[in-house]
Structure 1
C-alpha cells in the first residue's frame, strides 16, 4: 500500500500543475514580439518539461 499512497500523493500533482503553467508561459511567449522572446520561451519550455518528467518519474517510483 505504500507504493499506492506515494503515487497518489498530492505533492506530485501540484508539481505537475506548476510544470504545465511554466510550459504554457513558454508557449505564450513564443508569440511575443521582443528581442529575446524565443530564447526565453525555449528555456521556459525546457524547465517545464524537466519538472513534469521529474513529477511523472516520482509517481512511477
Structure 2
C-alpha cells in the first residue's frame, strides 16, 4: 500500500511539473493555448498538497 501511494505522489508531481512547464511556455512564448492550463496545474498541485498533508497526519499519529 505504501509503495502504491508513493508511486501516485511521484506521478502527480511529474504531471504537475509538465503542466506547469507547458503553462510557463504558453505565457513566455505567447502561444494562444488553453485558458484551462493554469487551472489544471493548480488542481494537480492541490491534489499533491492533500496527499502530503495526509502523509504528515499519518506520521504524527503513528510516530
TM-score (norm 1): 0.60
**Bigger relative CO (Cα 8 Å, ≥ 6 apart):** 1
| Distance apart, 1:35 and its partner CA | 3.4
After superposing on structure 2, the runs of 4+ consecutive aligned residues of structure 1 that deviate more than 4 Å are none
State how many pairs are aligned. Answer: 52
Hey, what's the Cα distance between the residues in 2 that align with 1:42 and 1:22? 13
Consecutive unaligned residues in structure 2, runs of 5 or more: 59-63
Normalised TM-score (structure 2): 0.58
Gaps of 5+ in 1: 1-5
